[in-house]
Structure 1
């Protein structure tokens, strides 16, 4: 069974690119443009969340805090992505499991994911 990754990114091109990369790597990659979309009741709980810090109308950091506060998602790894220079401190405050600073390569992305979802 494929591991499911929820990608939350407000840049539609970046979202599509991440989805393609992860699908080619054998993951079920579910794409969400807004933080609220991933919190809907009908959304399948993934094995990992990949969340951009800046989501336009919402904060990926707030989404991460919400996910870590809910019993059904608190155990699921959250990897934050951002071009922000203080991403490390921000992700620590949001209780994220890890972070990736943009720009990053597809190889780096996949390696980071495999740290939390071994093949």
Structure 2
């Protein structure tokens, strides 16, 4: 099976006026649904993240994923699923723990947590929730207070 690679990069190179500012945070998304992958990439790019979107996790296993600040993995994929990739990433981390957010249309939350996933979000994805989770894991705590008791149980597990 030939792997298709959709590489999505972010906005243009920073201008000289941006020199000295910190680098863009990198997010690697693995999602086999091309429409969902495109939407996730666009939403995160619009928020200023550098995004690489892949339709298969084989690039991760082959070591071609670079050095992202966050992984977003679909749970259900052909060849190798998000649970297996999460286990692989935790075993091969070399001491660096990159956060993993898993998205899925099936209920695999317990298995995902056991595999080392930091946050599990069910499809359909709430874009505001996804952005809050990404900000939490990449940029630190949210600048506004959130009443976590009002959030669904799956969100409370995300930090």
Q: Is the shorter-chain TM-score for this pair beyond 0.5, marking a shared fold?
A: yes
Alignment partner, residue 97 of structure 1: 118
Secondary structure at the aligned position of 1:68 is classed as helix
Give the Cα separation in 2 of the matches to 1:29 and 1:43.
11
Alignment partner, residue 28 of structure 1: 50
Alignment partner, residue 10 of structure 1: 32
Q: Give, in angstroms, the shift of residue 17 of structure 1.
A: 0.7
Q: Which runs of 5+ in 1 are unaligned?
A: none
Q: Which runs of 5+ in 2 are unaligned?
A: 1-22, 141-159
Rg (Cα) greater in structure: 2
* Higher percent of residues as strand: 1
Segments ≥4 residues shifted beyond 4 Å? none
Alignment partner, residue 64 of structure 1: 86
Give the Cα separation in 1 of the matches to 2:44 and 2:88.
24
> What is the CA RMSD across the aligned residues, in angstroms?
1.6
Superposition TM-score, scaled by structure 1 size: 0.91
Q: Give, in angstroms, the shift of residue 42 of structure 1.
A: 4.0
Alignment partner, residue 148 of structure 2: none
Give the Cα separation in 2 of the matches to 1:111 and 1:52.
18
